[in-house]
Amino acid sequence: IKYPRRSIIVKLPVRMDDGRFEMFTGYRVQHSTVRGPAKGGIRFHPKVDLDEVQALAAWMTWKCAVVNIPFGGGKGGICCDPLKMSESELERLTRRYTASFYDTFGPETDIPAPEQSNAEPDSR
């Protein structure tokens, strides 16, 4: 389990509220699917990168195994500053991200989940 099963990097063009387009980088890592589909949140952070997402996906593998639930480890990330984005910009970014992984996400393969920092608008 030293290396992830799958690591994907995508570019995400998103129309901002002022009409211009901005390019974001998104990541999805499936660390292990031995115990079941990969499961893990999506981190929105200005300094998120592939190394961090891979480490967090590995950590999720171990967390699921320790509590004996039938999931493997996965994690996603989008390099952005959510504190500087409007709610509609974040929605467009999230929709672009999920559309980019339409062939990756699914109940038998990879289950995305919100991160606590993304779950409630008041936490921004």
What distance in Å separates the CA atoms of residue 37 and residue 30, rounded to the nearest whole number?
9
Backbone angles phi, psi at 9, to 5 degrees: -120, 130
75 catalytic per annotation: yes
Residue pair 93/115 in contact by the 8 Å Cβ criterion:
no
What distance in Å separates the CA atoms of residue 49 and residue 76, rounded to the nearest whole number?
10
Closest Cα to residue 42, out of 32, 50, 31, 53? 53
- DSSP summary character for residue 109: T
Candidate list 11, 39, 63, 75, residue with the active-site label? 75
Residue pair 86/8 in contact by the 8 Å Cβ criterion:
no
Catalytic positions, written as ranges: 75
